[in-house]
Amino acid sequence: MADKRLPEEGDRIAKLLARAGVASRREIERMIADGRVALDGKVLDTPAVKLTGLKGVTVDGKPVEQAEAARLFAFHKPSGLITAERDPRGRPTIYTALRNALPKGAGRVMPVGRLDFNTEGLLLLTNDGELKRAMELPSSRVPRTYRARAFGDITQAQLDALIEGIEIDGVRYGRIEADLERGSGKNRWIEMTLTEGKNREVRRVLEHLGLKVNRLLRTAYGPFELADLPRGQAVEIRQADVERFRKQLKRGGRL
């Protein structure tokens, strides 16, 4: 009788599929629960399966290719795009722009975090679900830097207080470094660096301080900067820089 036991060596299947760029590990666990993942024709019902490779694995009936080296792309997202594959309301998504922006042969990529519809600037994209998740986790403490143009009155002293974090409507926001750029008038630019990246964090914090944000631009994510990348364009980050960053993430060092 053939041995029907599942393999017990290697890495968990969700980790391998995430590395192969199928989806994030959490999303893959949901796919397994929905019966969409199979091994040698047997539908899996647990993400605890361990494998040394992806031979015989299918997702939605299609074979999964072996994982490629982790690739990371920087995209200058314009405002007016949804950070999703599709939008129920029919609004354009980042993938509409990426068709022409990504280099040929880029393959399937996933956004690292999100930028709101009206937020522009640096959006990182990767083919590696493990790298994506590691960069998004608050515990990784990867800094994100934004420039916000806001209308209203604010002082540097008020912004300095954000270094201790702030609670708004029962939600606790952690340490934020904020600097008021030189200028005059009611519209002022503020640079903010944070590590949690909670939903609409920059806008909510500034609105709580009595300001109205009329433009928001992300300029950096970890060591990767927007620099002079033109709006709507994408560029691949050097493999050596990606690997250096991955090692730093694994060590848990402050970026």
What residues are labeled active site? 116
| CA separation for the pair 240, 219 (Å, rounded) | 21
Handedness of CA 8, 24, 86, 224 (dihedral sign): negative
* Beta strands in the chain, from DSSP E residues, in sequence order: 11-12, 37-39, 42-43, 50-51, 57-59, 62-63, 72-77, 110-111, 120-126, 144-151, 166-168, 171-173, 176-180, 187-194, 212-221, 224-225, 234-236
User: Are the beta carbons of 244 and 252 closer than 8 angstroms?
Assistant: no
74 touches 224 (CB < 8 A): yes
